[in-house]
Amino acid sequence: MTTVPTDMRPRNAGANLKTGAAWMRGRVMPIGEAAIPLNDWGLIHSDITYDVVPVWDGAFFRLGLYVERFFRSMESLRLDPGMSEAAVKTVLHDLVSATGLRRAYVAMVTSRGVNAVPGSRDPRDCRNHFFAWCVPYIHVIRPDIAQSGASVHVARTVTRIPASSVDPRVKNYHWGDFTQGLFEAKDAGAETVLLLDQQGNVTEGPGFNVFSIKNKHLVTPAAGVLEGISRQTVLEIGAELGLVTETRTLPLEELLQSDEVLISTSGGGVAPITQIDDRLFSNGSPGELTTAIKERYFEWAGSPAYRTEIDYEGA
């Protein structure tokens, strides 16, 4: 296993890392200086996996779950950068510590890398490599919009990539469907987009899972989606609040009959959805249960039970 370097000083010692930083090949650097080769299979084939863990008020939230999922994704894609879970956690900790950011969006990435045999098309000949980067905390839905409730457009020109082609449980950069859907949503005046599968069932949106609340039942799609850590957190919170939680097929028609709709994401936690296409929910305002789930999410983010504190003094 790769050992983690002890010298985490940035390559450019005078650089301001608060706007973003990266860890590559054992060094911390400003994010604008980080680069991968143009012939890296992660770039030219999207043969790459990643995960993102949020830092909230100076601590990682549910770090262990995010790192475990990252390693499952690598195993699924047969990627091995020679890093242990402990080594990855150390890199992430030292990277955030070096930036001084107390609220951050932190990515861990493993790429297939460059093929070491000229002309080879065999992925086994590639040298896999790990890197990480962080930037100030990202909100998938802007906080001012999330405060009053976001609008969502259901894509009509594109469906979600079938799971038989790209497994959505493996976090990936295959965003062709999401990007096309986002253009459609923005053209329709909506904040973001929701994709259906080829049978017309709800899947997910770019960077978020979706939930329906109806008669105190909390329902989220079971297939065609990333099994999000924030999604898991919302399901656990829902059960704690006395809701009946269900993970199953969710037809669009059922979603549109919801009492409330919300999304979960590592970039913002929980956000209410008050409009899908022309359908309004909760009279166009965040619903009572959605608000309760959102408040509880940030209570959990502040709880020692779910936090891994970052030592900024050792940077």
The span from the CA of 141 to the CA of 266, in Å, is 11
The span from the CA of 265 to the CA of 231, in Å, is 7
User: Tens of pLDDT along the chain (315 residues)?
Assistant: 555 554 555 555 446 899 999 999 999 999 999 999 999 999 999 999 999 999 999 999 999 999 999 999 999 999 999 999 999 999 999 999 999 999 999 999 999 999 999 999 999 999 999 999 999 999 999 999 999 999 999 999 999 999 999 999 999 999 999 999 999 999 999 999 999 999 999 999 999 999 999 999 999 999 999 999 999 999 999 999 999 999 999 999 999 999 999 999 999 999 999 999 999 999 999 999 999 999 999 999 999 999 999 999 866
Q: Which domains, and CATH codes, for the chain?
A: 21-137 (3.30.470.10), 143-301 (3.20.10.10)
Which pTM value belongs to this model?
A: 0.93
